[in-house]
Amino acid sequence: MEVYLAILVGIFFTVSIYLLLSKYVIRVLLGVAVLGNAVNLLIFTAGRLTREVPPIIPAGLQVPVDPTANPLPQALILTAIVISFSFFAFLLVLGYRSFQDLHTDDTDSMRFAEPVDEPAPPRGY
């Protein structure tokens, strides 16, 4: 079963990287969103899969009787989802604000910090 998910993870990464390589901020943002899912699925799959049994201890017992899904990757991913969402929201607003000030979402035209005609450093002492 893991094989299918592994292939899916590969596709997620490929698509996300393809989007990240774009010049346009908005497509880069889409890439960031997909990248989050790609990483989460990678962790999820690496922790092995168990169908349909959540890691919950039945009432009245100290430990689960039957094998359950691996709880550790789930805990990690839960944290990761929330963080990648806040990261995504911040980037979104950043992109929005830069569009308002620079009137473009083409990263090639955003040369404010690294101007194209930057003078060469001095040669003297």
Partner 1 sequence: MTGMNPTIVFLLSPFLAALLSPVLVRIMGANAAWLLALIPAGIFAHLLGYVPSVAEGEAATMGVVWAPSLGVNLSYFLDGLSLTFALLISGIGTLIILYAGGYLKGHAQHGRFLAFLFLFMGSMIGVVTADNLIALFIYWELTSITSFLLIGFDHNRMASRRAALQALVVTGGGGLALLAGVVVLHLVTGMNELSLVLNSGDVLRESPFYLLAFWLVIGGAFTKSAQFPFHFWLPNAMEAPTPVSAYLHSATMVKAGVYLLMRMNPVLGDTLVWQTVLPVFGTATLVIGTLLAIRQTDLKLMLAYTTVASLGLLVSLTGFGNEKAIEAAVYYLVAHALFKGALFMVAGLIDHEAGTRDIRALGGLRSAMPLTFAAAALASLSMAGLPPFIGFMAKEEIYAAIARADAWSVAITLFTIIGNALMLVIAAAVAIRPFLGEAKETPKHAHEGPVLMWLGPVVLATLGLVSAIVAHTTNHLFVSPMAGAVAGAEVDAHAAIAFHIGLPLALSVVTIALGIAVFCFLPQARFAMAKVLHRIGWGPDTGFDQFISGLVSLSTLITRFLQNGRMEAYMTTVFLIFGVAIWYGLIRYGEFPEFPQFVTPTFYEAGIFLLAVLGLAAVIYAHDRLTAIVSLGIQGFAVAVIFILFGAPDLSFTQFMVETLSVVILALVMTRLILDKTDHRPFGERFFDTAVALIAGSGFLLLLLAVLQVPFDPALSDFFTAYSRVVAHGRNIVNVIIVDFRGLDTMGEIAVVMIAGLGIIALIRVKARRPRAEAEQ
Positions in 14-73 near partner 1 (CB under 8 A): 14-15, 17-24, 26-30, 33-34, 37-38, 40-42, 44-59, 61-64, 68-72
Name the minimum Å distance from CB 125 to partner 1.
4
Amino acid (1-letter code) at residue 52: E
Residue choice 10, 65, 66, 102 for contact with partner 1 (CB under 8 A): 10
Q: Which of the 8 DSSP states describes residue 34?
A: H
What distances in angstroms separate CA 75 from CA 28, 105, 112, one per listed residue? 28, 36, 41
Q: Which of the 8 DSSP states describes residue 122?
A: P
Residues 63-122 that bind partner 1 (CB under 8 A): 63-64, 68-72, 74-75, 77-79, 81-83, 85-90, 92-97, 99-100, 105, 107-108, 110-111, 113-116, 120-121
Residue 72's Cβ-count burial label (10 Å; 0-12, 13-18, 19+) is exposed
54: left (phi over 0), alpha (psi -120 to 50) or beta: beta
Name the minimum Å distance from CB 80 to partner 1.
9
Name the minimum Å distance from CB 1 to partner 1.
6
Name the minimum Å distance from CB 90 to partner 1.
4
How many Å apart are CA 84 and CA 95, to the nearest integer? 16
